[in-house]
Amino acid sequence: MTTPGKTALMATPQRSASARPTIRDVAAKAGVSVSSVSRVLNGGPHTSPELHARIMRVVNRLGFEPHSAAQALRSRASNTIGCMVADLSNPLYSDMVNAAEEEFQRAGYVLMLAATRHEEARETAFISAVRRRRMDGLLLFAGDNAHADFAASLATLDLPCVAIDREVPDVPSVRADHRGGGLEITRHLIGLGHRRIALLTGRAALLPSSERLAGYRQAHAEAGIDVDPDLVRPQMQGSGTPFSEVRQLLQGESRPTAIITLGTHMLAGVMEALASQGLHYPDDISLVCIGDTDLARHATPAISALTWDLDEVGRIAARILLERIRDGDKAHDPRPVYLPTRFIMRHSCTPPRER
């Protein structure tokens, strides 16, 4: 019974053990303000690594899960980063993606990955998904620069983007020095006396492929050697293609004395083709691969390889993208960041044998 004019005091109900923890619970357990928790969860600036780690430990212990859709509507942020990769079977890409994902995870972002298989329709569809899901940024790996529909769709996306080994107008990029690498390994082979050097690479519209070819041509020009167009084989991503094309090269009257190839499944096709013709490297033909893969390292003999810091590429690209997300409209230098390549010389190259 309450006295007239007086308000009854109601006991505050206790939150049941099954109720979801709130952001206030996280702040209380971590001994910080709600705004500090919000900054960490939204990837905001001015948060020390120690504070970030302490808050995330409490978030994980309590099982706190902010409602991402409502959060996105309120803040126009979803704490997700889109990542578009053409070929997930390529170990070079997977290393860079893993390094980038670690950077995003530390900043409180989730990476959403799409494998586009170099298909323009898949690329364009993913751009639509990025827009619908209100993602906060987009990481683009090497893709076909001839895809006009994709470029047009990307241009309408008002979102921070960073490209890896891809040329996109007004978008910052991180690239390995593929031209310099192609120049160095071709110079090395020419220095050993090779004059017929085959280059097996990806499709010509991919930036790394076109840059490698430019370095390859420059080395030949410096040495006064004409490039035989038949020795340059792009478009070699299809299943079985490396084996058949290399076997065709080896069966010709004037076969190459050296081969430069990608170090993934393409290298396996080259080695299979050599075996099918009874040939061995380095005795019958010299061999260099691009990308220091497990196959290159563990082959017998080990294969000389052009490499670069894949983890560093992924980390730098992620950090640039996070800066663009946090700084808003602040201008960023759109010029590419180049990372050097390194030539690892093993036992797969010798001077050409007289035939």
pLDDT of 47 reads: 63
Q: Give the domains, in start order, of the chain with CATH numbers.
A: 78-176+310-339 (3.40.50.2300), 178-308 (3.40.50.2300)
| Residue pLDDT, tens place only, 212-247 | 999 999 999 999 999 999 999 886 655 457 788 899
Q: Which tokens go with 216?
A: 């390859």
Nearest C-alpha neighbor of 116 from the set 89, 96, 136: 89
| Residue pLDDT, tens place only, 67-100 | 544 444 444 567 899 999 988 777 788 899 999 9
Nearest C-alpha neighbor of 287 from the set 194, 183, 212: 194
Higher pLDDT, 333 or 107: 107
Identify whether the C-beta of residue 303 lies closer than 8 Å to the C-beta of residue 293.
Answer: no
- Give phi and psi for 197, each to the nearest 5: -115, 120
Nearest C-alpha neighbor of 58 from the set 74, 46, 45, 41: 41
Distance (Å, whole) CA 294 – CA 263: 9
Q: Return the minimum-mean-pLDDT range out of 108-122, 277-291, 325-339.
A: 325-339
Which pTM does this prediction carry? 0.76
Distance (Å, whole) CA 230 – CA 228: 5
| Residue pLDDT, tens place only, 257-282 | 999 998 888 899 999 999 999 999 99
Distance (Å, whole) CA 5 – CA 187: 96
Identify whether the C-beta of residue 163 lies closer than 8 Å to the C-beta of residue 315.
Answer: no
- Give phi and psi for 262, each to the nearest 5: -65, 150
User: Cα–Cα–Cα angle for 189, 194, 196, nearest 5°?
Assistant: 115
pLDDT band at 66 (very low <50, low <70, confident <90, very high): low
Q: Is residue 8 over pLDDT 50?
A: no
Distance (Å, whole) CA 212 – CA 343: 14
pLDDT of 184 reads: 98
Instruction: Provide the H-helix boundaries in 252-307.
Output: 265-276, 294-298
Q: Is residue 344 over pLDDT 80?
A: yes
N- to C-terminal Cα separation, the chain: 112
Identify whether the C-beta of residue 141 lies closer than 8 Å to the C-beta of residue 85.
Answer: yes
pLDDT of 242 reads: 78
pLDDT band at 191 (very low <50, low <70, confident <90, very high): very high
Q: Which residues pair with 44 in a beta bridge?
A: none
